[in-house]
């Protein structure tokens, strides 16, 4: 038995298949480089090509790219300079938008991945397209899943491009003050990937297998600097804002109100790896509204964080636990729910601070503390939210993290509906081997509150073995009935859950199919003392075509036991009784067309049994681009419910037309409409943005909310009554002090 245990640990935990790295030397220069997309400076002529011989990632990963890319690098006291030549078979580029932080898929672009601490876990991302539109972001979790990829982070850097007959050239300057790095080190990890739409090819400098994400941090070369780097740029940035607004709450018959406000953020570089962020009286009214969804589950839906203050090093705070068991969810801070519209609305934040980043190559630290204002409508007193995390790298790309979350009421009233305090402590171990053959995590968390309950623990394990031909995943969770994470996101408590998964991959040659896989998924949930409550078995297939389109389908068997009354239609109709159980079968498919085309679409039909009746419908999107100035799109979700206990077929409709216009690389207009029959709400949000200086903006935001429907005639869904209206003007400016 002992020998079997040793073999198992060796098989699971020892990193295997190490990637052979490539080294490139980066020399210091004294002459200046003018960013114009012309590599005519003497520094470039003396600088050898650092990165070349890019490998294909798509459609195959075993040959050199047809269209090659070369990268040169140099540095001075202030910046890292990058000169890139992307060779092409022409200049019929796909440039869908001039908006910053565009998505890489379906358009021409080049992206750089920089890991200054050489940990293979976190990296900075900088990218551009032939038009010089910039995008930047952060990679966390070793790049082992899409959850660790974010383009929400924003910072100062420069890029200029120029298009030639057989290539486009990009010149980039990244200030060292923008990056976080070990000041005593001379070596960073680096990779680059490119999308070329003329040949429908994706390529990477360091070869990455097709069964891994293109931004996987296990496959990187090394930058060797000729001398140590010193962050000599600005160590203090001030970002003040001014705002004025008009608001009219028609539903509650309140008088129109004009308001104005000022506040701001500050960024202080404590060290080259550790940053202190401060905010006073922050306002996030310019942040885009959430995309509404049709919720037919019995549980809460999670929406992503979009507010800039919470985004840098967000994984240090928000990656603990798993998708449905997070001890800290930053959207709990400064947002409360409008009980009339079910919309999330802003709750005043007095201010806060966040200290986050690297202490050295092995240790990361995160401290956050924020105070919010009392909200009588939501029954919420003044609150302080505090989070402390520390993370220690173990081995090549794994780490051990600890977290403490505290929500504390400040002078609570005796009749406040909220606990006077709520705390969670936890430990997480994140595993990623060098080549991502093994990846996963395990965690153990415990909550503390005023009315402490038994079984206040949560535990989970998620482990994936990923080979070229197949993938095996095992996941299990336990959440005790007394686990109470009020600042977290926890869908349900008092259950055990297992979810094994198996996928087998095919790579046809000389075929319109690039990759296909068969998959089997099984999920079962037990409630202690009550036995099985949920079960789901699915068999399906996924097909990726060489023209960038995708198709998948699945046949699913579901079992649900209802402990409480539940309306499965989500239409406030008659409910199913508690203590009843249901087994049913259904089918769903999904087709995504080639998103590099001007016209693209996604369609997802579904039909089959549903509880004790039938459900059918479709969801998806339609998109048309007017390159590069914008796009018109419509998201939709339509459900029909034919239930034997109802007198008529019920339905839900969600429509989301969206208009995106990018007049220049600095001026943008977005109009977003959302009609949701389930919440009986229609939202109109129009946002004008002028980026008049780097990371400095003027916003003008118009928003309307309407009650959708006629209370005297439920069939009249398209009667609109104004609930509230607002117009907001806001200006922010980034000052390096």
Which one, of 334, 300, 329, lies nearest residue 314 by Cα? 329
List beta partners, residue 240: 264
Yes or no: say if 284 and 293 are a contact pair by the CB < 8 Å rule.
no
Mean pLDDT of 260-268: 91
List beta partners, residue 388: 367, 404
Q: Do 29 and 150 belong to one domain?
A: yes
The residue count of the chain comes to 737
pLDDT at position 16 is: 35
**DSSP class per residue in 374-435:** -BTTTTB-EEEEEEEEEEEEETTTEEEEEEEEEEEEES--TT-SS-SEEEEEEEEEEEE-TT
Model confidence pLDDT, tens digit, residues 638-683 = 999 999 999 999 999 999 999 999 999 999 999 999 999 888 889 9
SS3 42: helix
Establish if 585 belongs to a structural domain.
no
Model confidence pLDDT, tens digit, residues 283-333 = 877 776 667 666 767 667 767 777 778 877 888 998 999 988 999 998 888
User: Token digits for 7?
Assistant: 């073999």
**DSSP class per residue in 299-314:** SPPP-----GGGTTTT
Mean pLDDT of 31-59: 88
Query: How sure is the predictor about 386, in pLDDT bands with cuts at 50, 70 and 90?
Result: very high
Contacts of 390 (CB under 8 A, 6+ apart): 363, 364, 365, 366, 401, 402
Mean pLDDT of 225-250: 84
Establish if 486 belongs to a structural domain.
no
Query: How sure is the predictor about 551, in pLDDT bands with cuts at 50, 70 and 90?
Result: very high
Establish if 606 belongs to a structural domain.
no
Mean pLDDT of 238-257: 89
**DSSP class per residue in 560-625:** EEESS-B-TTSSS-PPBPSSEEEEEEEEEEEEE--TTSSEEEEEEEEEEEETTEEEEEEEEEEEEE
How far apart CA 319 and CA 323 sit, in angstroms, is: 9
pLDDT value at 416 more than 90: no
Query: What's this model's pTM, rounded to 2 decimal places?
Result: 0.86
pLDDT at position 395 is: 84
Mean pLDDT of 423-429: 97
pLDDT at position 413 is: 66
Q: Do 194 and 93 belong to one domain?
A: yes
Domain boundary among 168, 199, 225: 225
Q: Do 217 and 344 belong to one domain?
A: no
Mean pLDDT of 417-442: 89
Domain boundary among 424, 453, 482: 453
Q: Do 199 and 338 belong to one domain?
A: no
Percent of the chain with pLDDT over 90: 61
Q: Which of 130-134, 624-628, 676-680 has the lowest mean pLDDT?
A: 676-680
Yes or no: say if 325 and 477 are a contact pair by the CB < 8 Å rule.
yes
Mean pLDDT of 381-388: 92
| Residue 595, CA atoms < 13 Å, CB-side half-sphere | 18
Q: Which of 279-283, 340-344, 484-488 has the lowest mean pLDDT?
A: 340-344
**Bond from prior residue into 628 cis (ω within 30 degrees of 0):** yes
Q: Which of 373-382, 529-538, 590-599 has the lowest mean pLDDT?
A: 373-382
Establish if 736 belongs to a structural domain.
no
Mean pLDDT of 333-358: 77
CA 616 from chain centre, in angstroms, equals 30
CA 651-655-657 angle, to 5 degrees, is 170
How far apart CA 84 and CA 130 sit, in angstroms, is: 11
Establish if 633 belongs to a structural domain.
no
Q: Do 341 and 445 belong to one domain?
A: yes
pLDDT value at 74 more than 50: yes
Helices (H), 434-497: none
Mean pLDDT score of the chain: 88
pLDDT value at 633 more than 90: yes
Q: Do 212 and 340 belong to one domain?
A: no
Q: Do 221 and 319 belong to one domain?
A: no
Query: What domain range includes position 116?
Result: 18-225
pLDDT at position 9 is: 38
Query: How sure is the predictor about 48, in pLDDT bands with cuts at 50, 70 and 90?
Result: confident
Mean pLDDT of 257-269: 90
- Cα 281 to Cα 345, 353, 635, distances in angstroms: 16, 12, 35
- Cα 704 to Cα 337, 345, 347, 707, distances in angstroms: 17, 13, 19, 10
- Cα 41 to Cα 37, 130, 135, 173, distances in angstroms: 11, 21, 25, 14
Q: Following CA atoms 101, 61, 205, 15 in sequence, which dihedral angle do they give, to the nearest 10 degrees?
A: 100
Question: Looking at the 3D structure of the chain, how many domains does it have?
Answer: 2
Domain boundary among 225, 251, 280: 225
pLDDT value at 338 more than 70: no
Mean pLDDT of 441-453: 93
User: Token digits for 350?
Assistant: 């007095």
Query: How sure is the predictor about 400, in pLDDT bands with cuts at 50, 70 and 90?
Result: very high
Q: Do 23 and 159 belong to one domain?
A: yes
pLDDT value at 720 more than 90: no
Establish if 710 belongs to a structural domain.
no
CA 192 from chain centre, in angstroms, equals 20
pLDDT value at 141 more than 80: yes
User: Token digits for 611?
Assistant: 């509880």
Query: How sure is the predictor about 233, in pLDDT bands with cuts at 50, 70 and 90?
Result: low
pLDDT at position 712 is: 58
Mean pLDDT of 715-732: 82
Mean pLDDT of 148-167: 90
| CATH number, domain containing residue 170 | 2.60.40.1190
pLDDT at position 156 is: 87
Establish if 180 belongs to a structural domain.
yes
Start-to-end Cα distance in the chain: 64
pLDDT at position 8 is: 38
pLDDT at position 717 is: 59
Establish if 187 belongs to a structural domain.
yes
Q: Do 154 and 51 belong to one domain?
A: yes
User: Token digits for 158?
Assistant: 């420069």
């Amino acid at each position: 038995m002992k020998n079997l245990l040793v073999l198992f640990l060796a098989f699971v935990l020892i990193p295997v298949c190490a990637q052979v790295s490539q080294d490139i030397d980066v020399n210091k220069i004294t002459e200046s480089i003018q960013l114009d997309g012309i590599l005519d400076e003497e520094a470039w002529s003396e600088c050898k090509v650092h990165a070349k011989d890019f490998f294909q990632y798509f459609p195959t990963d075993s040959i050199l790219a047809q269209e090659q890319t070369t990268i040169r690098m140099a540095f001075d006291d202030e910046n890292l300079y990058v000169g890139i030549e992307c060779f092409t078979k022409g200049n019929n580029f796909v440039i869908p938008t001039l908006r910053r932080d565009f998505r890489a898929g379906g358009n021409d672009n080049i992206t750089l991945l920089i890991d200054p601490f050489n940990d293979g876990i976190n990296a900075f991302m900088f990218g551009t397209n032939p038009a010089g539109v910039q995008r930047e972001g952060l990679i966390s979790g070793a790049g082992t899943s899409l959850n660790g990829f974010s383009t929400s982070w924003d910072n100062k850097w420069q890029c200029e491009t120029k298009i030639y007959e057989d290539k486009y050239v990009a010149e980039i300057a990244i200030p060292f003050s923008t990056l976080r790095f070990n000041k005593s080190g001379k070596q960073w990890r680096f990779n680059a990937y490119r999308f070329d739409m003329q040949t429908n090819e994706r390529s990477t400098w360091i070869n990455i297998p097709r069964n891994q994400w293109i931004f996987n941090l296990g496959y990187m070369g090394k930058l060797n600097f000729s001398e140590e780097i010193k962050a000599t740029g600005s160590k203090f940035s001030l970002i003040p804002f001014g705002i004025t607004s008009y608001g009219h709450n028609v539903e509650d018959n309140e008088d129109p109100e004009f308001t104005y406000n000022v506040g701001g953020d500050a960024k202080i570089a404590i060290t080259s790896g550790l940053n202190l962020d401060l905010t006073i009286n922050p306002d996030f009214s310019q942040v885009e509204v959430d995309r509404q969804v049709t919720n037919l589950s019995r549980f809460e839906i999670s929406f992503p964080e979009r507010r800039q203050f919470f985004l840098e090093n967000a994984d240090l705070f928000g990656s603990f636990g798993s998708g449905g068991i997070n001890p800290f969810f930053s959207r709990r801070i400064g947002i409360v729910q409008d009980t009339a519209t079910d919309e999330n609305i802003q709750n005043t934040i007095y201010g806060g601070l966040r200290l986050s980043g690297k202490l050295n190559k092995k240790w990361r630290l995160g401290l956050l503390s924020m105070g919010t204002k009392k909200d009588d409508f939501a029954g919420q007193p003044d609150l302080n939210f505090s989070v402390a995390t520390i993370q220690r790298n173990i081995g090549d790309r794994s780490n051990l993290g600890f977290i403490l979350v505290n929500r504390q009421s400040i002078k609570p009233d005796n009749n406040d509906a909220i606990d006077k305090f709520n705390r969670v402590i936890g430990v997480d171990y994140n595993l990623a081997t060098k080549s991502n053959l093994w990846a996963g995590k395990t965690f153990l968390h415990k909550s503390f509150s005023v009315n402490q309950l038994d079984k206040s623990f949560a535990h989970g394990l998620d482990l994936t073995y990923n080979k070229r031909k197949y993938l095996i995943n095992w996941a299990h969770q336990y959440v005790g009935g007394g686990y109470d994470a009020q600042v977290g996101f926890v869908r349900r408590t008092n259950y055990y859950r297992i979810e094994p998964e198996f996928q087998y991959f095919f790579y046809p040659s000389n075929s319109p199919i690039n990759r296909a896989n068969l998959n089997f998924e099984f999920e079962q949930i037990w409630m202690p003392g009550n036995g099985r409550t949920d079960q789901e078995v699915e068999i399906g297939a996924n097909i990726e075509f060489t023209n960038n389109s995708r198709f998948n389908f699945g046949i699913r068997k579901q079992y649900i036991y209802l402990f409480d009354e539940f309306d499965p239609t989500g239409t406030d109709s008659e409910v199913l009784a508690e203590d009843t159980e249901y087994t049913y079968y259904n089918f769903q498919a999904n087709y995504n067309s080639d998103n590099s085309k001007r016209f693209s679409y996604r369609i997802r039909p579904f039909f089959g049994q549903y509880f004790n009746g039938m459900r059918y419908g479709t969801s998806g999107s339609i998109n048309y681009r007017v390159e590069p100035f914008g796009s018109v799109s419509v998201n939709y979700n339509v459900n029909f419910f034919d239930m034997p206990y109802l007198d008529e077929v019920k339905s839900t409709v969600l429509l989301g037309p969206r208009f995106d216009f990018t007049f220049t690389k600095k001026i943008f207009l977005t109009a977003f409409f959302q009609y949701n029959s389930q919440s009986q709400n229609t939202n109109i949000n129009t946002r004008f943005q002028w980026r008049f200086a780097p990371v400095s903006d003027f916003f003008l935001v118009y928003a309307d909310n309407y009650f959708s429907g006629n209370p005297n005639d439920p069939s009249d869904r398209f009667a609109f009554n104004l609930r509230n209206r607002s117009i907001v003007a806001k200006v922010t400016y980034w000052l390096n002090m």
